[in-house]
Amino acid sequence: MSNKFYLTTPIYYVNARPHIGTTYTTVVADVIARRKRAQGVDTFFLTGTDEHGQKIQRSAEKANCSPQEFTDQVAAQFRALWDRMGLTYDDFIRTTEPRHKRGVEKLFTLLRERGYIYKGSYTGQYCVSDEAFVDVPPGAPCPDCGRITETVNEENYFFKLSAFERTLLEYYEAHPEFIRPETRRNEVISFVKAGLKDQSVSRTSFKWGIPVPGDEKHVIYVWMDALINYISAIGYGSDDPADKAKFEKYWPADLHIVGKEITRFHCVYWPAFLMAAGLPPPKSIVAHGWLLFEESKMSKSRGNIVRAETILDVLGADALRYFLLREVVFGQDGSFSFDALVQRYNSDLANGYGNLVSRTLTMIGKYFDGVVPEATGLQADSIATEAPNAIAAFNRSIDALDFSRALESAWTMVAAVDGYLTASAPWKQPDSITDEQQRAFRATVLYTAAEAIRIITALVYPVIPDAASKVWTQLGLGDIQKADLKNLTWGGLKPGTQLGEIGPVFPRAEKDAITRMQEIEQANATVTESKIPLSASAPIETTQTAVPAPAETDGLAAAAGEESAPPSIAPAASGPATAAPMATTPVPEKITIDDFLKVELRVAQIKVAERVPKADKLLRLEVDLGYETRQILAGIAEAYAPETLIGRKVVIVANLAPRKLRGLESNGMIVAASLGEAGKPVLAGFLEEIEIGARLK
Ligand code: ME8
């Protein structure tokens, strides 16, 4: 068996700050890396950031800074969070680094020389959010994310993906472990069997990317650029002998860990690029499911993210790591909630493992002056005899990447030892036995519990490294990072070992932990973009605003009806007072200028307007904001014929959380006056010529 292990996470887009979805993948990789190292394997763990492309260029424009400044700041945020989480990555690659550029240029040039890249022209749809060319008619939404696609008509370089159809299928067949789990493997095989088209691998309509060598009008397609990070980070493209040796040593990667939505890029395009270059594909790609929050995928664009920092502030990194690996069955989607997090923390960590450690070590302190006693050979229950099975079960599950089951088996052992302690009650001394007998009994019980704790701690160290390090020291075993955790066998804890200083490992979460975390998130979500300095500690983009959803207050989307939330009893600040119980005029609550500035009002131009089938009041609009195009659904179809709206400049609320109406995503709201009882909408506009994207304040 080879004694090296190269594993990677996706490199994350810097248009959004890190959240617990991106943290999830990186924590999984960290657990695997720590376990491999503990087994003595030469491990290389790579993560990083994906910094080129149209999406990032637009985000930088929106933040009023250069793409380089923008990416520098956000990449630093990612690193800072990963460091705070104690993630033990060996390298952090940024696609704006010269070493990466060299690798991309080398691979692109090689594929062009080998005839796998040629020039052609592309007319079709592009999803900027996914940075993907999609096969749908103009105006149709992206089949993957449902967002609006843009029509692209460009002279491009193409990669001959079609030439790899058979080769890829044969490769999948010969290497069943290449794509895991089975469901993803089947999806990929069906996709390839349906036929592969050549893939556009350059863009000309924007600049933020790596120029095509010798043809600088083009920048290399961001996905081709990004995938190459896996080889550029370990020296591909460099002439330095040390880099070459590193590449020889670590490539092919042993494991790429990715979220399920990017399987196709990794399992189809990536091996095809590598095969075209004469390089071996990675050994295995594992796609995990999504972390859901409020029932949909946690993501920046949905505005439903939870920041890892909030959890670190209140419960610590181990709590988040444990929760993610225990609660989410790897490969499947799993839900996050603060309630579930705190419940797991208290039941498994504070009352479970933490309490077991504390009661055992305290009793060794009390009855044996803090020195591990020797078991006297009296009945040690089944704990000792069961230990080898428990260790084997844990190892089997974790090696199969079934983290949840592995932890479940470790916590079965925690419960068994806890039950054993309670049943043995070494703190009691029945009248029937002598002091000496009692001492021998206590010694056996407490040795058994302490040795079981040592084994559990060694097993779960990759998942809860901080707590495990503390417990290891409290057991008197020194630095866990220097310990040999490989061949765990019963009896490794030597009697006579002097315990270290005992202290709490997982203090119980306070009653208000959930509300504290919710409040921190709320406070963060309501920080507006206008107030955010682009600094390492500040969030880059808002996730939600504190503004009540105008759909409920202005009657526009509400008029459209479908899927809008039930009207809340909102402050009577605006909108028709539908069921006002008294005939008094409600007095609008005063707001501060800061409150007003939370609403991002911008000028946008309507580019496309069309009716939505089976929704009489609803129009689907595509509006241009200068820095991006959006889809907005507006309940104005009874007042405006769609064709009269094309080219019209309107005011939109640009930072409204997206919502779905009739299955279509609406990303913002058009501002209109509401006339008469029926609330006839009249669009706001300008008398002077006005620039698209201008902010109203
Ligand atoms: O796709 N649940 O970057 P990205 C679980 N730059 N995992 C999640 C998640 C969630 N809710 N949200 C994000 C890109 N992730 C490209 C990758 S690689 C050559 C280029 C994790 O910032 C998951 O691993 O959109 C997912 O695949 C990745 O973040 C997407 O990150």
Residues of the chain with pLDDT under 70: 1, 377-381, 526-589, 592, 594, 677
In angstroms, what is the span from residue 441 Cα to ligand 1's centroid?
54
Residue nearest to atom 30 of ligand 1 (CA): 12
In angstroms, what is the span from residue 263 Cα to ligand 1's centroid?
11
CA distance 326 to 341: 10
109, 125, 168, 212 from 266: Cα distances, Å: 21, 21, 12, 22
**Do the Cβ atoms of 374 and 447 come closer than 8 Å?**
yes
Substitution candidate for ligand 1 out of 7, 11, 12 with most atoms within 8 A of CB:
12
Q: Tokens 């983009």 appear where?
A: 541
Cis previous bond, 550, omega within 30 = no
In angstroms, what is the span from residue 260 Cα to ligand 1's centroid?
9
Which residues, in sequence order, are CB contacts of 475 under 8 Å at separation 6+?
A: 361, 372, 450, 453, 454, 457, 493, 497, 499, 500
Relative to beta strand 695-696, strand 669-670 is unpaired
DSSP 8-state assignment for residue 567: P
Q: Which two tokens stand for residue 460?
A: 């779960």
CA distance 31 to 437: 44
DSSP 8-state assignment for residue 140: P
Supply the pLDDT for residue 691.
84
Closest-CA residue to 331 (of 283, 401, 268): 401
Closest-CA residue to 35 (of 460, 483, 579): 460
Supply the pLDDT for residue 682.
85
Supply the pLDDT for residue 589.
61
Which residues, in sequence order, are CB contacts of 632 under 8 Å at separation 6+?
A: 621, 622, 623, 652, 666, 667, 668, 669, 670
In angstroms, what is the span from residue 301 Cα to ligand 1's centroid?
12
Supply the pLDDT for residue 1.
55
**SS3 (DSSP) at 317:** helix
Supply the pLDDT for residue 615.
80
The count of other CB atoms within 10 Å of the CB of residue 579 is 7
The count of other CB atoms within 10 Å of the CB of residue 389 is 12
CA distance 423 to 439: 17
Substitution candidate for ligand 1 out of 20, 24, 30 with most atoms within 8 A of CB:
24
Residue nearest to atom 29 of ligand 1 (CA): 22
108, 403, 626 from 219: Cα distances, Å: 11, 41, 21
200, 607, 651 from 602: Cα distances, Å: 34, 15, 6
Residue nearest to atom 9 of ligand 1 (CA): 21
In angstroms, what is the span from residue 290 Cα to ligand 1's centroid?
9
In angstroms, what is the span from residue 26 Cα to ligand 1's centroid?
10
Substitution candidate for ligand 1 out of 14, 20, 25, 264 with most atoms within 8 A of CB:
25
CA distance 408 to 456: 12
Closest-CA residue to 79 (of 107, 53, 104, 48): 48
CA distance 250 to 46: 11
Ligand 1 atom at minimal distance to the Cα of residue 10: 18
353-364 tens-digit pLDDT: 999 999 999 999
Pocket around ligand 1 at a 6 A CB cut-off: 10-13, 21-22, 24-25, 50, 226-227, 229, 258-259, 261-262, 290-291, 297-299
In angstroms, what is the span from residue 661 Cα to ligand 1's centroid?
26
**Residue 519 belongs to what H/E stretch?**
helix 513-525
Supply the pLDDT for residue 440.
92
CA distance 494 to 472: 13
**SS3 (DSSP) at 152:** strand
Ligand 1 atom at minimal distance to the Cα of residue 227: 19
Position 612, amino acid: V
**Residue 553 belongs to what H/E stretch?**
helix 550-553
CA distance 478 to 525: 42
CA distance 684 to 671: 6
In angstroms, what is the span from residue 679 Cα to ligand 1's centroid?
43
Supply the pLDDT for residue 348.
98
CA distance 462 to 475: 18
Between the two ends of the chain, the Cα-to-Cα distance in Å is 65
Q: What is the largest CA-CA distance in the chain?
A: 100
Length of the chain: 697
CA distance 262 to 227: 11
In angstroms, what is the span from residue 129 Cα to ligand 1's centroid?
12
DSSP count for the chain of H helices, then E strands: 23, 26
CA distance 527 to 524: 5
Residue nearest to atom 26 of ligand 1 (CA): 259
Residue nearest to atom 24 of ligand 1 (CA): 259
Residue nearest to atom 28 of ligand 1 (CA): 259
The per-residue b/e assignment along 192-209, b for 16 or more CB within 10 angstroms, e otherwise, is: beeebebbbbbbbeeebb
516-536 tens-digit pLDDT: 999 998 888 754 333 333 332
In angstroms, what is the span from residue 12 Cα to ligand 1's centroid?
6
Closest-CA residue to 79 (of 54, 102, 51, 47): 47
In angstroms, what is the span from residue 50 Cα to ligand 1's centroid?
10
DSSP 234-253: TTTT---HHHHHHHHHHPSP
Q: Find the angle CA(99)-CA(104)-CA(108) to the nearest 5 degrees.
A: 150
CA distance 241 to 264: 34
DSSP 8-state assignment for residue 53: S
In angstroms, what is the span from residue 258 Cα to ligand 1's centroid?
7
- Phi-psi sector, 65: left (phi>0), alpha (psi -120 to 50), beta: beta
Substitution candidate for ligand 1 out of 26, 145, 228, 262 with most atoms within 8 A of CB:
262
In angstroms, what is the span from residue 59 Cα to ligand 1's centroid?
17
Substitution candidate for ligand 1 out of 11, 19, 22 with most atoms within 8 A of CB:
22
563-569 long-range CB contacts below 8 Å, 24 or more apart?
563/659, 563/660, 563/661, 563/662, 564/659, 564/661
Supply the pLDDT for residue 617.
84
In angstroms, what is the span from residue 471 Cα to ligand 1's centroid?
34
Residue nearest to atom 14 of ligand 1 (CA): 12
